[in-house]
Structure 1
Amino acid sequence: MLEMLNRWYRRKFSDPAAVTLSFILLSGFAIIYFFGGLLAPILTAIVIAFLLEWPVSQLSKRGLPRGLSASLVLMSFVGVSLLVILVAVPIIWQQAFNLVKELPSMIGEAQIYLSALPEKYPGLIQVEQIDNLMATLRTKIIEMGEGIISMSLNSLVSLVALLVYAILVPLLLFFFLKDKDILLSSLDRFLPTNRDLAYQVGREMNGQIMNYIRGKVIEILIVGGASYITFVVMDLRYPALLGLLVGFSVLIPYIGATVVTIPVAMVALFQWGLGPEFWYLMLAYAIIQVLDGNVLVPILFSEAVNLHPVAIIVAVLFFGGVWGFWGVFFAIPLATLVKAVVNAWPTHASHEEPPPDENEASA
């Protein structure tokens, strides 16, 4: 057993470049896992810098100084963000408040409808089942209300954190964009030598992560915008709130679209019942989902490394459980990183001892 482990260790870790790559990966994951909360503004700025690096580099290629390019892109980003905050957020908040206010009446209508089911289908549905379902639903509503109250009590702390983010993130973002080469060269001095394998994985992952983030943001905007327009045209209640949910559902492949269908269908059902409007809306919603999965995703992520659906779901569950929202957002790039490391990792020891000579062995 010890000999087998020794051979495995020599085969996998005898290459100094593999040891360096292991050190970099373990250090990065440990820092994010244990100090992610403290470093949240820095990590947020790094993520946004990935998004804005392409327009900055394009302006720099056209002759503008990198500092001026970073300033123009950052001002545009801040302007668009403020526009979204001042225009879209109040509308979404108001619709969410109205939806919460109408939940009791929706629950009452659902109880009336469900209470009639045992009479229509006496052999399939029992009164006790309906009572247990309604009791569970009321419990969930009470828990949600307590969560909203707790959120309002902690709003002051959240406001302070938001102000810190509003000051630190743009400042960090400007320096990350302006002094990118200087910061990377400074970081390079603290890394171990023998970084050939790490550079190989880094070059592969840099393009993958850039393409993924940019493509995912575009997908959120297109799917959310198309859903919002569809809901407005069909006069569905809470179109901005539901459009936002549908847009962000693309962050969780396979699972997100299934989960977000529930509130869309519930709002439509309570608004129209099982009438023609309900089925027209669900048909339009299904068309959006089909076009997203079969047209938009292949176009936006044509350069992405193919991953099996099981690998994607496992990555979403694992990294989402470890890092929450950002773990879900980066689940596919992180799974691609794991795949790139496995493919690049040396499978044979580069310094393995040669087999003994036959004459020496016989002697």
Structure 2
Amino acid sequence: MAPVITSIILAFLMQGLIAQLIARNVPQWMAVSIAFLIFVGSFFVILFVVLPLAWNQMTNLFNELPRMLLQWQQLLLVLTERYPDIFSEAQIQEWMKLARAELGQLGQLLVSFSIANLLNVFGLLIYLVLVPILVFFFLKDKQILLLWLKSFLPAERPMLSKIWQEMNEQVANYVRGKAIEILIVGSVSYLSFVALGLNYAALLGLLVGLSVVIPYIGAAVVTLPVLLIGYFQWGWGADFLTLFIVYSVIQALDGNVLVPLLFSEAVNLHPVAIILAVLVFGGFWGLWGCFLQFL
């Protein structure tokens, strides 16, 4: 069901554009065609430009990890000189030994992941063909499909119809809002990292953009690699401080400006409830569970 669920979500993303075009007296068939062409163009740009660039930078980052690990070891050894009663050189060596072991397991995991992907190339190709086709028919035959689904329901359904109308609007607005947030945060982060000269800007921009899918936890997790790469590239200094300030401003604007604008009608949930929703629905349905947790 993964291609179907993915296609439904992507169709929701494009439905808002179709409604805007129809409101401007564009014929429905033309509105659907324009929306689908935009979707296909964006789909293949992400597939053949963004993802390969991010994967290439991730490979380069993995090759640089041993050097970064050595630099980190030298930093930790300073602690033994300043605080000999708390940290010993033997402790530092043991920590680095564990880090190297984890790094080796990560390398094996990446190799096995690549081999598994090669074995599933045929399935991936089917997925890439199937999703655009499903999106096209979900957009083109929306009313026909809805009428077909309604045929399985009772003829008198006032409460169900009311719930459907409310949920349809809420789901569509949330999915489109979350996609816009990912695009804006990821693009601004990428451009900011490029302007600062930060290495692996595309990979980090992609991670920062996707981190908004998981509130609180995503931003906290992505902050660590951003700052670590900045430190290993520049060390403590003006460049690192600038990166920290710029990244903090992006996160602040996202949480205090962009999210209220995009989700002004969203339910105001306590942070504990949001974290529990991430853990529960993410455990059930992975990324899509985190994406649709508030619906």
Q: TM-score range by the shorter chain?
A: over 0.9
Matched, 1:282 2:244: yes
For 2:3 and 2:132, how far apart are their aligned partners in 1? Answer: 10
Q: Name the counterpart of 1:66.
A: 28
Identify the residue that residue 47 of structure 1 maps to in structure 2.
Answer: 9
Equivalent positions of 1:224-235 (< 5 A) are 224-235=186-197
Q: Cα distance 1:146–1:195, how it changes in 2: closer, same or farther (>3 A)?
A: farther
Q: Give the TM-score, by structure 1 length.
A: 0.77
Please state if 1:164 is matched with 2:126: yes
Please, which of 135, 138, 141 is the counterpart of residue 97 of structure 2?
135
For residue 79 of structure 2, what is the aligned residue in structure 1?
A: 117
1:24 corresponds to which residue? none
Q: Give the Cα–Cα distance (whole angstroms) in 2 for the partners of residues 143 and 302 of structure 1.
A: 44
The equivalent residue for 1:216 is 178
Q: CA deviation at 1:65?
A: 4.2
DSSP 3-state at the match of 2:269: coil
Q: Which runs of 5+ in 2 are unaligned?
A: none
Residues 34-58 of structure 1: per-residue CA shift (max 9 Å, x gap): xxxxx11111111111111122233
Paired position in structure 1 for 2:212: 250
**2:259 paired residue number:** 297
Give 1:11's aligned residue.
none
Aligned 8 A contact 1:50 1:210 in 2 = yes
Farther off after superposition, 77-86 or 182-191 = 77-86
Looking at structure 1, the residues matched to 73 and 156 of structure 2 have their Cα atoms a distance apart, in angstroms, of 67
- State the superposition RMSD in angstroms: 1.7
Higher mean displacement: 82-91 or 117-126: 82-91
Q: Does 1:241 align with 2:171?
A: no
Residues 146-172 of structure 1 deviation map (CA, whole Å, 9 limit, x = unaligned): 111111211223322221122211111
Matched residues in 2 for 1:326 and 1:243: separation? 20
For residues 166 and 275 of structure 2, what CA distance do their matches in structure 1 show?
A: 22
SS of equivalent residue, structure 1 residue 107: helix
5+ residue gaps, structure 1: 1-38, 334-363
Name the CA distance, whole Å, in 2 between partners of 1:320 and 1:175.
29
**Larger RCO (alpha carbons 8 Å, 6+ apart):** 1
Residue 140 of structure 2 aligns with which residue?
A: 178
Say which SS state the counterpart of residue 177 (structure 1) adopts.
helix
- What does residue 87 of structure 1 align with? 49
TM-superposed deviation, 1:269: 0.8
Residue 264 of structure 1 aligns with an amino acid whose one-letter code is V
Q: Number of aligned pairs?
A: 295
SS of 2:212's partner is helix
Is the 1:211–1:304 Cα contact (8 Å) retained in structure 2?
no
TM-aligned CA distance change 1:273 to 1:68, over 3 Å: same
Distance 1:63 1:228 in 2: 37
The amino acid across from 1:103 in the alignment is L
C-alpha separation in 2, matches of 1:123 and 1:201: 65
Distance 1:176 1:266 in 2: 44
- SS of residue paired to 2:199: coil
Q: Which residue of 2 aligns with 1:152?
A: 114
Instruction: Write the letter of the residue equivalent to 1:121.
Output: Y
What is the distance in 1 between the residues matched to 2:237 and 2:87? 24
**CA offset digits 1:154-205 (Å, max 9, x no partner):** 1223322221122211111111111111111111121356643333332222
Opposite residue 205 of structure 1, the aligned amino acid is: M
What is the percentage of aligned positions where both structures have the same residue?
50
Contact preservation (8 Å) 1:228, 1:239 = yes
Going from structure 1 to structure 2, the CA distance change for 1:102 and 1:67 (only over 3 Å counts) comes to: same
CA shift in 2, pair 1:202/1:127, >3 Å: farther
Any residues of structure 2 matched to 1:189-200 within 5 Å, and which? Answer: 189-192=151-154, 195-200=157-162
Q: Which structure has the larger Rg?
A: 1
1:234 and 1:319 map into 2 onto residues whose CA distance is: 37
